[in-house]
Amino acid sequence: MKKKDTVTLIDNSTGKELELPILRPTEGIATIDVRALYRELGYFTYDPGFLSTASCRSAITYLDGANGILRYRGYPIEQLAEQSTFLEVCYLLYYGDLPDSKQLTTFKNDICHHTMLHEALKQFFIGFRRDAHPMGIMVGVVGALSSFFHDHEDVYDPKQRQKAAHRLIAKMPTIAAWSYRYAHGLPFMYPRNDLDYAGNFLHMMFALPTEEYTPPPLFVKALDLIMILHADHEQNASTSTVRLTGSSEANPFAAVSAGIASLWGPAHGGANEAVITMLLDIVNSDNDVQYYIDRAKDKNDRFRLMGFGHRIYKSYDPRAIIIRKTCHDILEQLEPGNRYQELFDTAMEIETIALQDDYFKSRNLYPNVDYYSGIILLAMGIPLNMFTVIFALSRTIGWISHWNEMMQDPESRIGRPRQLYSGEKPRNYVKLDSR
Ligand code: CMC
């Protein structure tokens, strides 16, 4: 007899049974479709942090945490990192396939022609305090973009969605670089369409109107790689935030702004900044590395090894392997004895000790994407508080691709989780003078 592709749930308190379909993915973990549960048995499911919950179907990114596998649209991250460019990956993520050379040229042209910001947007930067965190500026300015483009408010029109996506990909580097320029009292540099995506960003970050500037090819390549590795990571906190925000039919600029806010936290994209702060603390302290490892293991101490651990990866994060090698290669090409080498050596020492330690081994805690990326960014001259901004500009394509996918999904509905109420039972209002 052919086995049924279902699971049966038995409610022992009532004796009722419910057969729930198993949904089979093209790859990975099968999913139980619990949509009938509330209707048939009157229960919700309880899953804080979504440890066992698939919130949607998605064909964009495949992630196998047990085996350290990451693929965009089926292509292994290692191949994309080695052979493609960030804009090619953007095309792949949004449209589903690698572009041919004509498609890529058209796409690049489209992106190039949307890199400028409306002049009035400059006033937004100037309204922030000079010491504002650039992520705070990003949240505000990207959200404000929605008030500039009223020609694509129909989120169900694919052409309008595409225009919004192109605008976001194109303008994000300009917004990111200008948030840095403003904090440093430097003039805003306009984008240059003759440069590629990473080179143009470095130009807007570091060029001066008084001098010629050529983005160093070594850094352009490294930044392009970092952006590829951060471009998407399926339903992480910020992507889920973008989806949830967009599920109410909010405009994409507002949804991406919400994603940036979510990314900011140190448990998510803020970790790359936190890693460098931690490494600097360690190299400047009299304590050895073991002291910090012991602190990370101590349950009474809130200190964690930043850049270690991941909700999904229970083996080495494949992105961290690529970034560690790039970091090594870049440092080799810088002047001997450069100060980043000390950070890299310390990071390697921590990794070696941690990976032999039972605490980290038993919990499958390995370096993640953020562990080595900050050292490369620092070596490029990018200040610490811009690290998460670079993550945000790289992840924009992931966010907008997921939003676009959601808007086409016939099963998608406004996101509205339920709760397990744990508050007071009904009680009567007590007048103020009787309390
Ligand atoms: N240092 C020390 N202990 C850790 C660490 C760490 N970095 N990460 C997890 N643990 C311990 C944790 O205390 C827990 O121990 P126990 O089982 O005894 O209670 C166990 O490992 C499982 O951790 P968890 O917090 O339940 O795992 P999670 O899936 O909820 O959290 C995480 C994942 C990434 C938030 C967490 O590992 C962490 O805080 N890491 C440091 C921050 C970081 O590097 N974040 C970047 C993530 S990758 C990029 C991105 O997503 O943006």
Ligand 1, atom 32, lies closest to the CA of: 310
310 annotated active-site: yes
Backbone φ, ψ for residue 32 (5° rounding): -90, 125
Rounded (10°) angle between helices 252-263 and 134-145: 170
By the 8 A CB rule, do 311 and 346 touch?
Answer: no
317 annotated active-site: no
pLDDT number for residue 270? 83
Distance (Å, rounded) from C-alpha 388 to C-alpha 333? 25
By the 8 A CB rule, do 215 and 203 touch?
Answer: yes
| Tokens, residue 188 | 């805003």
Ligand 1, atom 21, lies closest to the CA of: 363
Cβ of residue 295 lying under 6 Å from some atom of ligand 1: no
pLDDT number for residue 60? 98
Ligand 1, atom 22, lies closest to the CA of: 363
Q: Taking 90 as the threshold, does the pLDDT of residue 333 lie above it?
A: no
Q: Give ∠ CA 346-321-370 in degrees, rounded to 5.
A: 60
Residue of 233, 268, 310, 402 marked catalytic: 310
State the DSSP string of 226-246: HHHHHS--SS-HHHHHHHHHH
Going 152 to 155 to 158 to 162, the CA torsion angle's sign is positive
Cβ of residue 307 lying under 6 Å from some atom of ligand 1: yes
pLDDT number for residue 5? 95
Distance (Å, rounded) from C-alpha 225 to C-alpha 323? 8
Indicate the top mutation candidate among 50, 315, 365, 387 to test ligand 1's pocket, ranked by most ligand atoms within 8 A of CB. Answer: 365
Distance (Å, rounded) from C-alpha 298 to C-alpha 306? 15
N residues, the chain: 435
Ligand 1, atom 19, lies closest to the CA of: 299
Q: Is 331 helix (H, G, I), strand (E, B) or coil?
A: helix
Q: How far is the CA of 347 from the centre of ligand 1 (A)?
A: 17
Residue of 224, 232, 317, 370 marked catalytic: 370
Which of 85, 25, 36, 35 has the alpha carbon at shortest distance from 58? 25
When pLDDT is cut at 50, 70 and 90, the band that residue 153 belongs to is confident
Burial class (CB in 10 A: 0-12, 13-18, 19+), 119: exposed
Q: Taking 80 as the threshold, does the pLDDT of residue 232 lie above it?
A: yes
| Tokens, residue 103 | 């498609």
Going 368 to 233 to 77 to 334, the CA torsion angle's sign is negative
Cβ of residue 118 lying under 6 Å from some atom of ligand 1: no
For the chain, give the percent of residues with pLDDT over 90: 88
| Tokens, residue 45 | 């499911």
Cβ of residue 221 lying under 6 Å from some atom of ligand 1: no
What is the mean predicted confidence (pLDDT) over 168-197?
95
Backbone φ, ψ for residue 378 (5° rounding): -60, -45
Q: How far is the CA of 275 from the centre of ligand 1 (A)?
A: 13
Q: How far is the CA of 230 from the centre of ligand 1 (A)?
A: 19
Cβ of residue 328 lying under 6 Å from some atom of ligand 1: no
Cβ of residue 293 lying under 6 Å from some atom of ligand 1: no
What is the mean predicted confidence (pLDDT) over 167-177?
97
| Tokens, residue 288 | 């050895």
Cβ of residue 73 lying under 6 Å from some atom of ligand 1: no
pLDDT number for residue 151? 65
Q: How far is the CA of 389 from the centre of ligand 1 (A)?
A: 22
pLDDT number for residue 152? 65
pLDDT number for residue 336? 76
Distance (Å, rounded) from C-alpha 221 to C-alpha 194? 16
pTM greater than 0.85? yes
| Tokens, residue 32 | 């139980």
Q: Is 9 helix (H, G, I), strand (E, B) or coil?
A: strand
Q: Which pLDDT tens digit goes with each residue over 287-304?
A: 999 999 999 999 999 999
Q: Taking 90 as the threshold, does the pLDDT of residue 417 lie above it?
A: yes
Cβ of residue 365 lying under 6 Å from some atom of ligand 1: yes
Mean pLDDT of all residues in the chain? 94
| Tokens, residue 122 | 């400059």
Cβ of residue 70 lying under 6 Å from some atom of ligand 1: no
Ligand 1, atom 14, lies closest to the CA of: 363
What is the mean predicted confidence (pLDDT) over 345-350?
93
By the 8 A CB rule, do 61 and 72 touch?
Answer: yes
Cβ of residue 181 lying under 6 Å from some atom of ligand 1: no
Indicate the top mutation candidate among 308, 319, 323 to test ligand 1's pocket, ranked by most ligand atoms within 8 A of CB. Answer: 308
For the chain, give the percent of residues with pLDDT over 70: 100
Burial class (CB in 10 A: 0-12, 13-18, 19+), 411: exposed
State the DSSP string of 44-101: ----GGGSS---S--SSEEEETTTTEEEETTEEHHHHHHH--HHHHHHHHHHSS---H
Q: Give ∠ CA 23-26-31 in degrees, rounded to 5.
A: 25
Q: How far is the CA of 366 from the centre of ligand 1 (A)?
A: 10
Cβ of residue 319 lying under 6 Å from some atom of ligand 1: no
